[in-house]
A and B are shown apart, each in its own frame.
Chain A
Amino acid sequence: NAGVTQTPKFQVLKTGQSMTLQCAQDMNHEYMSWYRQDPGMGLRLIHYSVGAGITDQGEVPNGYNVSRSTTEDFPLRLLSAAPSQTSVYFCASSYDRQETQYFGPGTRLLVL
């Protein structure tokens, strides 16, 4: 199993550009989530999904969209990037919401 994979590893964007961060897991996990991690702030939940076709907002959803068309994939879309979205983004998955989460390697995003 590859576990949780994320692409790209690094990305530089200009303000106003859009992009999609990819996340995939091959563990047949129902629950997937996106976090951002900023210095001194800890991990904060952006969006999550409890299964294909079901998504919901986390603590800091503004400026981000998600969809879950398959169990395996959970992409995060930045609609119009802002410097405040400079962060490290982690995708995580678990069998269900009660289980331990497994994290992907992260995407480091810089918005200029």
Chain B
Amino acid sequence: GQNIDQPTEMTATEGAIVQINCTYQTSGFNGLFWYQQHAGEAPTFLSYNVLDGLEEKGRFSSFLSRSKGYSYLLLKELQMKDSASYLCAVRDYLGSGAGSYQLTFGKGTKLSVIP
């Protein structure tokens, strides 16, 4: 099984930088995803990390430390449209067979961007 922990809510100011942390415990780590979900909408893919280090995509960056079971999503130059929930999801490798990978989602962090 997995245990994924991320803060429930965060608030940040427009134009600022915010870091959303995710910690996890897993036995067969095979990648970590970040998804963005606006209220009433479907999750959309933001980033993927499988090796240690920082992945940068425009205003968004994601960091992974496999030894610490830790990831963060960094959002720069915050905009009002960044107000959304951010979901951390960890993929486990369970072994050979058709169902060999399992993706488990954290409960999400609701980010509110204020003027």
Residues of A within 8 A of B (CB): 35, 40-45, 48, 50, 54, 56, 90, 97-98, 100-106
Contact = CB atoms under 8 A, between A and B. Distances in A.
A97 B100 contact: yes
Contacts, number: 45
Given A43-B87, A50-B98, A97-B100, A104 B42 contact: yes
A42 B105 contact: yes
B108 A98 contact: no
A105 B41 CA distance: 6
Q: Which 3 pairs of residues, A with B, have the shortest CB-CB distance?
A: A103-B42, A42-B107, A43-B105
Interface residues of B, number: 23
B43 interface: yes
A101 B103 contact: yes
Nearest to B89: A43
Contact of B107 (A40, A98, A103, A105): A40
A100 B50 CA distance: 12
User: Could you say which of B33, B89, B99, B103 has the most chain A C-beta atoms within 10 Å of its C-beta?
Assistant: B103
Given A50-B99, A54-B98, A100-B33, A90 B107 contact: no
B100 A43 contact: no
Interface in B46-99: 48, 87, 89, 91, 98-99
